[in-house]
Structures are given as C-alpha cells and as structure tokens.
Amino acid sequence: MTPHELTTLTAADLHAGYAAGDFTPTEATSAALEAAAFGGAHLNAVASLHADEALAFADASTARWRQGAPLSDLDGVPVSIKDSFPMVGHQRWHGSALADGLPPSTHNGAPVRRLHEAGAVPFVKTSMPDFGLIGSGISSQFGIIRNPWDPACNPAGSSSGAAALLAIGAGPLAMGTDTGGSVRVPAAMCGVVGLKPTQGRVAYDPPKIIGVAGPMARTVADTATLLRAVGRPDPSDHLSLPGVFDGDGSPIDDLSGLTVGVFTAIPGPVPVDPEILAAVDRQAEILAAAGATVTRVDSPMATEDEWAAMTAVLMTRGLPELLRMPPEAWDVIPPGLRAGMLAFRDLSAVEHVRNEKALEAARAVIAGRLQAFDYTLAPATAVVSYAAELEAPVVDGHAVNHMAFSSPFNLTHLPAGSVPVAMSASGMPISVQVGGQRFDDAGVLAVMALLERERGFAPAYPYALGATAGARP
C-alpha cells in the first residue's frame, strides 16, 4: 500500500493488515511520521517528534507480528500523545514557552505505559495551548495551531494538535486530556471522535480531581479499542477505578425503555448555530426511532454563576504555573489567559475555598439534572468554526463559551463523547455530544456508534498525504 493509503486506515484495518501480512507496523509508522511532519510544518500540531525512536518501536512490533506473537489489538498501531503527558526523552512544555529549557521527561505517564505494554507505537507528541487552560489552539510555545479542514479556522483545545493530526491521517489514534471539554470540543471541530471517560477510568499521574485522559480516533470502534488498552488502574493514580474497560464500540440497536434528555441552550447572549441545532434534532429523531423516550430539557449548567465558579477554580489552580516564573516572562502567555489568571492573583485562601464550595454546590445541582436520564444528547460545540487567531469564539461581538456543553460532565465525573454526524454548508464538520451515567462508558460509546452508523456518510478527511496536492489541508 502507498503511504497515503496507510494513513487512511483505522486501527482495526491496520491490525487486520498486519495479521494478513499486507504491510508492516514499520511501514504504517513511517507513513504516520510523514503525515505528522506535514502537520507540524503547516498546522503547528506537533510538540515533539523522535522518528528514530518511533521506528524502533515499530520494528520491534514488526518482528512480533512475523513471529505470530502480537501483544494486543494495538500492537504496531501508531498513537499520538498529547504534550501534557510525560513521555521519556520528550520535553513536556504543557503548551507553554514558560517551560522552555526544562529537561526531558524521565518517566512515562500511566497511559503511555499502558500503550507500551500493548505494543502500540507512541510516535509523536501533539501540541496544545498554555497549561491546557484555553479552549482554543493558541500556544506561546507552538504558535497558532490550525484546523486541517480550513487552516484559517481554530481546532479548539486543549487537545488541539491531537485532533488535527487525526484528521490528516497522522496515526489512527490519539491520547488527549479533558478538563472542561478538551478532548470532545477539538474532536468536534476537527470531525473526529473523542471520549471523556468516567473520572478515574483511565489512570492519570499525577491524579486529577476533574481532568481525565481521554481516547480519540476517527471511529467509535477505534476509540473503544484505545480505551480497552488504557482504561485500567495504575498505582500512580490512587483515584483510578478498579477493573478493565471491555466495551467494543458496537452500535446499540434497541433503546426501548431508555430515556434521553436533549439540551441545546447555554447561558449567555449568543444562541447555538442553527446548523448545529438541526443536527441535534436529527440525532434526537434517530434515538427516538430506536425506542428511546426523548425529552427536551434545560441546560444542566443553567446559570452564568455556575460557569463563573468553575472558571475561578480552574484559573486559581493554574495560577502557580504562571507565578513560578518572574513577571517579565509573563508576556509570552496569550493575553486573555494571562489576564484571566492574574485576576485571581490576590485571592485569599478563604475566598478560594468559597469558590471551591460554590463549585461543589453547582456540581450537585448539575449532577441531578444529568442523572435524571440514561443518556443525554447535546451539541458538542455552540459554533461550527471560528478564526484560528482567537482565544475563544466571538459572535456578534460576544465571546461564546463553547465549552458550556462539555464542562458539566467534567464537574460530575460522568462519561461523555463527541461524534461527527453532519457537514456544514461551509464544509466544516458538525458533531453532537452523548453523555451517560457514571461507569457506563460502553453505553455512551454504543449510542455514539449508532449515530455514527446512521449519519449516512464517511467524512472526507483532509489527509496530509493525499494523492494530489489539492487533497492536502
């Protein structure tokens, strides 16, 4: 197969091809590296790329396949790793130029260790915005990260480079992280699949109270395969859940007896894009036709005060990353983030605890709204696209909180995923978000797979190694 053809394959396709001897992990990884190099040069999607290291992992996998002894379904499959994860020998910038000069990591994060145990090939680290605290692809270290469907547009964040590389075929799988939507929103903007698992489903070191590691792919089935590899406990994370995830991402056909709550509004003056609302309506019809009882409900995050409490806590928690450097270095940080963090610089300990308590109170209310249903359906984002240079979408002069649909699931530790279901008139992908009950990651993926199957088309991804120059992003 040609390098272009290899970059269009799913993880399942690669596994089958290795088993049949049609091609090798070394060939697939070489193609992924070539696509990633393009994504780094043209989309600023790459944090670090050690080709010799990746090819050594791939060569070892090729030898295992020739011996008929692969380690797992992911043996030899290229997987990109977000910059926020430690990875031996690679710098961890956490998206920020403030980390320049720090030594490379000396250990692998828990998900990276799980991938090595499965024989997968972590072949590149992907770029992200500063500290993962911006929902856009703006980074003081990597520059403006761009959306491959239209490089003038934003891929969102903070798993910005991960989503962009998936869309151009630089590996079929990616590991991202999600604190307020950082897997699901960039996945939606780039037309790929992203899952925020139940909190603790994927071990994450250091342990997080809100943030999770999440799998990303171009198909729901591949997303499930990646979660099977990394969805297990680890001693480094005392908050990780027991047991091993074992769902396969197959679509559910019968939703009889199950309830689905549909919410389409967010706090603030800007309405959701009509094309997105139409896509949600169509998915609600599909779920109802499968037997679900579908009910329209108010947004689980119903007030701007609830979002303000989350913002205050996240900015305060992120502030030490800024304050560890002298003030003269702060100018490199994107201005909106810098101002947002410094607004809480003089917060007293009592005021911070007050904000934490306000967030806990909001969490309880939001959980009650979401847990009234077996599943929920909502937009994954409020806008179809926005300019690459912006720290947040702006519509009619108003900043749009495009993570308001995703963040309730972080607060409540519930699983949720985004799946592309339509294309906009502008040629950009449109996704919806499916949420579920705690521990029901498999059920969420099954509903997502149903919508994926029923959408009636395969996204025409802008592969970097297209047959013609016109196929490149």
* CA-wise closest residue to 145 among 207, 215, 236, 83: 83
The token pair at 33 is 């590296």
What values do phi and psi take at 283, rounded to 5?
-70, -35
pLDDT at 469 over 60: no
Q: Which of 48, 61, 80, 82 is catalytic?
A: 82
Give the tens place of pLDDT for each residue, 188-201: 999 999 999 999 99
Of 30, 84, 158, 299, the catalytic one is 158
* Domain architecture of the chain: domains with CATH: 3-250+461-471 (3.90.1300.10)
CB-based contact 378:262 (threshold 8 Å): yes
Report residue 107: phi and psi, to 5°: -145, 160
Percent of the chain with pLDDT over 70: 98
* Interval 413-457: pLDDT, tens: 999 999 999 999 999 999 999 999 999 999 999 999 999 999 999
Q: Is the pTM of this model over 0.75?
A: yes
For 366-396, the pLDDT digits (tens) are 999 999 999 999 999 999 999 999 999 999 8
- d(CA 194, CA 404) in angstroms, rounded, equals 16
Query: Count of alpha carbons within 13 Å of 206, Cβ hemisphere only?
Result: 1
Q: Is 39 exposed, middle or buried (0-12, 13-18, 19+ CB in 10 A)?
A: buried
80 catalytic residue (yes or no): no
Residues in the chain: 473
| Segment among 159-173, 199-213, 244-258 with least mean pLDDT | 199-213
* Reported confidence tier of residue 473, pLDDT bands at 50, 70, 90: low
Judge whether 190 and 166 are in contact, CB under 8 Å.
yes
Other Cβ atoms closer than 10 A to 289: 11
CB 242 within 8 A of CB 231: no
182 in catalytic set:
yes
Active-site option among 140, 182, 406, 407: 182
Check residue 257 and give left, alpha or beta (phi > 0: left; psi -120 to 50: alpha). left
Q: For residue 82, indicate whether it is catalytic.
A: yes
User: Given this model, what pLDDT does residue 206 score?
Assistant: 84
HSE of 135 in the Cβ direction (CA atoms, 13 Å)?
Answer: 29
